[in-house]
Amino acid sequence: MKKTKQAHNPMHLRFAVLSVDVALFTMRDHRLFVRLIAVNRPPYFVNGKGLPGGLVDPKETAEEAVKRHIEAKALIDPEKTYLEQLYTFSGIDRDPRGRVVAVAYTALVPWEKLSATERGDTDSAFWVPVGEARELAYDHDEILGMAENRLQSRIAYTTLISKLLPKEFTLTEMEQTYESILHANLDKRNFRKKILKLNIIKSIGRKRADGAFRPAELYRFAENKVKEIEIL
Partner DNA sequence: TCACGTGGTGTATTATTGACAATAACTAAA
Partner DNA sequence: TTTAGTTATTGTCAATAATACACCACGTGA
**Residues of the shown chain interacting with DNA in the complex, contacts defined by CB under 7 A:** 170-172, 187-190, 192-194, 207, 209-217, 230
Contacted by 4, from its own copies, DNA, none: CB < 5 to 8 Å by type:
none
**C-alpha separations of 212 from 129, 171, 173, 216 in Å:** 29, 18, 17, 12
Return d(Cα 83, Cα 24) in angstroms, integer: 9
Cβ nearer to its own copies, comparing 125 with 218: 125
Complex with its own copies: residue 59 or 189, whichever CB lies closer: 59
In this structure, the number of other CB atoms found within 10 A of the CB of residue 214 comes to: 8
Rounded Cα distance, 98 and 31, in Å: 36
Phi-psi region of 57 (alpha: psi -120 to 50; beta: other; left: phi over 0): beta
**Number of neighbouring beta carbons within 10 Å of residue 19:** 22
Q: Which of residues 169-188 bind its own copies (CB under 8 A)?
A: none
Give the footprint of its own copies on residues 201-220 (CB under 8 A). Answer: none
Residue 199 binds which of its own copies, DNA, none (CB < 5-8 A, kind-dependent): none
Contact call for residue 60 and its own copies (CB under 8 A): yes
CA atoms within 13 A on the CB side of 122: 10
1: buried, middle or exposed (CB in 10 Å: 19+, 13-18, 0-12)? exposed
Give the side-chain half-sphere CA count within 13 A for 6.
5
Interface mask toward its own copies for 112-151; x: CB under 8 A: ----------------------------------------
Q: For the chain, what's the residue count? A: 232
List the one residue from 87, 111, 126, 191 that touches its own copies (CB under 8 A): 87
* 1 touches its own copies (CB under 8 A): no
Q: Check residue 42 for interaction with its own copies (CB under 8 A).
A: no
Among 55, 196, 200, 226, binds its own copies (CB under 8 A): 55
Residues that bind its own copies (CB under 8 A): 3, 6-7, 11-12, 14-18, 54-63, 72, 85, 87-88, 90-92, 97-101, 103, 153, 157, 228
